[in-house]
């Protein structure tokens, strides 16, 4: 308990900071020397500039520190020693990146792209904190590998664990590739492709089950595929059904395909399998202590019992709607039930989970992206990858658990869930609810795993608790106004 207690900071104490020492070092991988010669294993440091002290001043929210300042700071994951111009990218791609105001590559982009683009192509497993630009990294690699003189010929395939993430990646490809003519991208997600018609697109983004189906039905000609990307690779490979589908898809592709695996997390047990999935891969790794994004203020509320959680959630509603918020719950049923109760209590909230049909899911997320809906209740289906920069608050209504009978805290899912805020250098707040010993122990187990300093919000002094959260949210609002996300509105066609 003492160890756990040391992870908690009372609201009136300044949060302790972890030692975010720079640890960039390149070394040869030690595995399979003969097959692996030349594979680089690089540790990407996890240091993020303390945004609290970065010049985002109160009370007028005059934002003095811009993204370029943040990117100039070597101690952040947004810094890269390389420029886009050094990477041998095509003019069209460079124009696309710059049009999105991606002025410089982030660390994962700067490090992974030269490795991914080297010839002969080599596999890659890249880890970097949530919201640090992994999507743009692999999208740029895909768009560099495709031969656009054959726009109808499938050449690159990206897999993602949810339709929402696949759609989002499709949007990023269209946004970065906007000057490439002709650029054809297909979304292989349930209900999106006409049945039994060949897919005539150079790039395909989809969920593993649908992609497996269209290959089997010979709708997708994979004979000239050059690149396979698995986004959220640890998650897909670790799930029984999806892991099998990914493997089957891979086995149906030419043996020469370049395999690129991306995620913010690669737990040890999946990491080993991932290296088998992508043999001889270059690897960019983070230390476990580097995984949290420092711009996210991580807080928790100790609720007296399960019923109080709902009351506390309603009390937080005003704060949730200053920016945008995502509430994570364990089951679809509880998402529906909480939405029903909140709406009945006069709040405007929507729910999104896998029981809705595909079009409804697309529409719900689009409305959320456009700010039409400000509060979204969801399950782990949206825990990973979804990028909406104006999300300033994430609530873990239920602490994520894994294993049979919820026996263990799901530390990776916690990290991905809270990563829906604090995107690319922005600040954000996460509030986790605990209400009994099990949930308390689970949260503190997660805090210990990553060395997180959790701040306890005292609901006995609600004004103080509210002020504390509001402070972070206002900074997020100021940042969003100052530097709106370039791809927030990059919609899939």
Ligand X SMILES: Nc1ncnc2c1ncn2[C@@H]1O[C@H](COP(=O)(O)OP(=O)(O)OP(=O)(O)O)[C@@H](O)[C@H]1O
Task: Please name every residue paired with 134 in a beta bridge, in sequence order, or none if there are none.
Answer: none
Buried b (16+ CB within 10 A) or exposed e, 63-78: bebbbeebbeeeebbb
- Nearest Cα neighbor of 234 from 210, 186, 266 is 266
Binding mask 354-393 for ligand X (x = CB under 6 A): -------------------------------x-x-x----
Nearer to ligand X, 257 or 480 (CB): 480
* Smallest distance, ligand X to C-beta of residue 174, A: 13
Could you say which of 140, 235, 258, 487 contacts ligand X (CB under 6 A)?
A: 487
Q: How far is the CB of 205 from ligand X (least distance, A)?
A: 14
Query: Interface with ligand X includes 295 (CB under 6 A)?
Result: no
Neighbours of 487 (CB within 10 A): 23
Minimum CB distance to ligand X, residue 130 (Å): 4
Cross-strand bridge partners of residue 127: 263
Q: Which stretch binds ligand X (CB under 6 A): 278-286, 349-357, 363-371, 419-427?
A: 419-427
5: number of Cβ within 10 Å: 8
CB 222, min distance to ligand X, A? 25
- Report how far apart, in Å, the C-alpha atoms of 469 and of each of 11, 107, 158, 323 are: 10, 29, 37, 12
Q: Of 17 and 489, which has the nearer Cβ to ligand X?
A: 489
Give the whole-angstrom CA distance, residue 219 versus residue 222: 9
Kindly state the tokens that stand for 259: 């395999």
Q: How far is the CB of 486 from ligand X (least distance, A)?
A: 5
Q: How many residues bind ligand X (CB under 6 A)?
A: 22
Toward ligand X, which CB reaches closer, 288 or 456? 288
Evaluate whether 414 touches 400 at the Cβ level (below 8 Å): yes
Is 423 a binding residue for ligand X by CB under 6 A? The answer is yes
The residue among 78 and 435 lying less far from ligand X, judged by its C-beta, is 78
Smallest gap from residue 395 Cβ to ligand X (A): 17
Q: How far is CA 75 from CA 78, 168, 446, in A?
A: 8, 29, 25
* Contacts to ligand X from residues 164-223, by CB under 6 A: none
**In terms of DSSP H, where are the helices of 267-410?**
268-277, 306-320, 332-344, 358-369
Is 450 a binder of ligand X (CB under 6 A)?
no
Burial of residue 384 (number of CB atoms within 10 Å: 0-12, 13-18, 19+) = buried
We find the least distance from the C-beta atom of residue 88 to ligand X, in angstroms, to be 17
Q: Which stretch binds ligand X (CB under 6 A): 44-52, 249-257, 328-336, 417-425?
A: 417-425
Of residues 86 through 145, those in contact with ligand X by CB under 6 A are: 102, 105-106, 109, 128, 130-136
Q: For residue 318, what is the enclosing H or E element?
A: helix 306-320
Query: Is residue 156 a contact partner of residue 313, using CB atoms and an 8 Å limit?
Result: no
Question: Checking phi first, is residue 218 left (phi over 0); if not, alpha (psi -120 to 50) or beta?
Answer: left
The answer to whether 264 and 256 are in contact (CB under 8 A) is no
* H or E segment to which residue 268 belongs: helix 268-277
> Shortest Cβ distance from residue 11 to ligand X (Å)?
28
- Which stretch, 18-26, 373-381, 391-399, 418-426, contacts ligand X (CB under 6 A)? 418-426
**Contacts with ligand X in 245-274 (CB under 6 A)?**
264
Closer residue to ligand X (CB): 429 or 444:
429
What does the binding site for ligand X look like in residue numbers (CB under 6 A)? 102, 105-106, 109, 128, 130-136, 264, 385, 387, 389, 419, 423-424, 485-487
């Amino acid at each position: 308990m003492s160890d756990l207690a040391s992870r908690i900071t009372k609201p009136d104490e300044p949060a302790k900071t972890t030692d975010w020492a720079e640890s960039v070092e390149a070394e040869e991988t030690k595995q399979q020397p003969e097959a692996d010669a030349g594979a680089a294993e690089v540790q990407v440091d996890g240091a993020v500039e303390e945004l609290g002290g970065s010049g985002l001043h109160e009370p007028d929210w005059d934002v003095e520190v811009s993204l370029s300042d943040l990117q100039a700071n070597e101690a952040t994951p947004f810094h890269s020693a390389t420029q886009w111009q050094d990477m041998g990218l095509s003019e069209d791609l460079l124009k696309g990146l710059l049009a999105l105001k991606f002025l410089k590559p982030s660390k994962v982009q700067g490090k992974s792209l030269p490795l991914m683009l080297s010839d002969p192509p080599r596999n890659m497993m890249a880890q970097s904190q949530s919201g640090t630009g992994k999507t743009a990294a692999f999208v740029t690699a895909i768009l560099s590998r495709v031969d656009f003189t054959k726009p109808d010929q499938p050449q690159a395939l990206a897999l993602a664990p949810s339709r929402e993430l696949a759609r989002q990646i499709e949007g990023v490809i269209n946004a970065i590739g906007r000057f490439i003519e002709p650029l054809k991208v297909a979304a292989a997600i349930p209900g999106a492709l006409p049945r039994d018609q060949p897919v005539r697109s150079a790039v395909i983004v989809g969920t593993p089950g649908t992609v497996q189906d269209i290959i089997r039905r010979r709708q997708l000609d994979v004979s000239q595929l050059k690149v396979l990307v698995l986004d959220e690779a640890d998650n897909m490979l670790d799930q029984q059904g999806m892991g099998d589908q990914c493997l089957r898809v891979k086995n149906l592709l030419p043996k020469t395909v370049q395999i690129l695996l991306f995620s913010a997390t690669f737990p040890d047990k999946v990491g080993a399998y991932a290296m088998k999935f992508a043999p001889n891969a270059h690897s960019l790794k983070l230390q476990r202590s580097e995984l949290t994004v420092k711009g996210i203020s991580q807080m928790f509320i100790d609720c007296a019992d399960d019923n109080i959680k709902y009351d506390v959630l309603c009390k937080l509603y005003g704060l949730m709607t200053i920016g945008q918020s995502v509430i994570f719950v364990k089951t679809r049923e509880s998402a529906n039930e909480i939405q029903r109760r909140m709406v009945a209590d006069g709040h405007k909230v929507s729910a999104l989970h896998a029981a809705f049909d595909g079009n409804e899911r697309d529409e719900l997320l689009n409305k959320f992206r456009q700010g039409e809906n400000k509060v979204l209740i969801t399950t782990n289906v949206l825990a990973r990858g979804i990028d909406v920069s104006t999300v300033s608050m994430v609530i873990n209504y239920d602490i994520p658990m894994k294993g049979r009978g919820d026996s263990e805290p799901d530390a990776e899912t916690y990290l991905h869930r809270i990563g829906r805020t604090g995107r690319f250098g922005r600040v954000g707040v996460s509030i986790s609810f605990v209400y009994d010993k099990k949930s308390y122990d689970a949260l503190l187990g997660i805090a210990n795993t990553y060395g997180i300093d959790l701040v306890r919000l005292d609901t006995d002094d609600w004004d103080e608790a509210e002020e504390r959260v509001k402070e972070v949210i206002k900074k997020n609002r100021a940042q969003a106004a100052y530097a709106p996300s370039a791809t927030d509105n990059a919609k899939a066609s």
